[in-house]
Amino acid sequence: MQLAPFFPIFYRVLQPTFPNCLWGGDRNSKMIALTFDDGPHPQYTPQVLAVLDRYNIKASFFWLGACVNRSPAIAKAVSDQGHWIGLHGYDHRSFPMLSPLDLKDSLEKTQAAIYNACNLQPEQVRDVRPPNGLFTPATLKLFLQWNYRPVMWSVVPEDWVRPGVNTVVQRVIEQVQNGSMIVLHDGACGGQDVAATIKILIPQLLRQGYEFVTVDTLWQQGTTKPLW
């Protein structure tokens, strides 16, 4: 069963319960963020970069440390083109299943991989999106303690199950609004279709007057503010 129709309901419930997470930006501004999880991938990520470059759009990428280590040149290309970089854990294990020590190690190993590939210092890469969006209040408390910024999403077209490019585009268009944070995937699950998806999606959103910004910009001007 595909869950895409239910995600907007889930997040309307979760957002006020977990206000320390970034769920989106200013509802009075037509700024939106295009984000990609599970990369970098040696084939799919360069395809995404080519489309973003064509439209001069800066996106945000939440990386797995293992994938960075496998494709450091691709990671460097993403960083060199000015896209925002965040953490998605080292190997996509669910954060609530990890001990605090293992969670800290997963995030720090990913920061180290990014530093080695892109020369970005750990303090420059502190946005964290939990794999599958799964977290607990204890997880968020650890993020705060370790000076990470928890990032979620507001538009989830469930592209990782590959329902078809047109279906993914339609789901985004139906859900997008001012301040939306759209999540797509450029990794092994869903990455096969991602370039074709954004080739259709980006022009439609531009015609609607949306401006694409990074997650960092949403932190700066969003309705959800970090506590530190």
92 is catalytic: no
38 is a domain residue: yes
% of the chain exceeding 70 in pLDDT: 89
| C-beta of residue 91 within 8 angstroms of C-beta of residue 68 | no
> What is the CATH number for 177?
3.20.20.370
As a whole number of angstroms, the distance between CA 218 and CA 214 comes to: 7
Sign of CA dihedral 182, 24, 64, 212: positive
The single residue of 37, 38, 186, 193 carrying the catalytic annotation is: 37
| C-beta of residue 113 within 8 angstroms of C-beta of residue 68 | yes
As a whole number of angstroms, the distance between CA 58 and CA 35 comes to: 10
Peptide bond into 72 cis (omega under 30): no
44 is a domain residue: yes
Range of the domain at 59: 28-221
| C-beta of residue 186 within 8 angstroms of C-beta of residue 8 | no
pLDDT the model gives residue 226 = 37
Q: Into how many domains does the chain fold?
A: 1
110 is a domain residue: yes
175 is a domain residue: yes
Alpha helical stretches, state H, 56-183: 65-70, 72-80, 100-118, 137-145, 165-175
Question: Out of 20-24, 60-64, 124-128, which region has the weakest mean confidence (pLDDT)?
Answer: 20-24
107 is a domain residue: yes
212 is a domain residue: yes
Name the burial class of residue 226, with classes exposed (0-12), middle (13-18) and buried (19+) by CB atoms within 10 angstroms of its CB.
middle
Binning pLDDT at 50, 70 and 90, where does residue 11 land?
low
Mean of pLDDT values over 115-143: 94
Sole residue written with tokens 């985004």: 172
88 is catalytic: no
The single residue of 127, 159, 185, 186 carrying the catalytic annotation is: 185
195 is a domain residue: yes
113 is a domain residue: yes
Query: Per-residue pLDDT for 14 more than 70?
Result: no
Question: Tens of pLDDT along 196-223?
Answer: 999 999 999 999 999 999 999 999 985 4
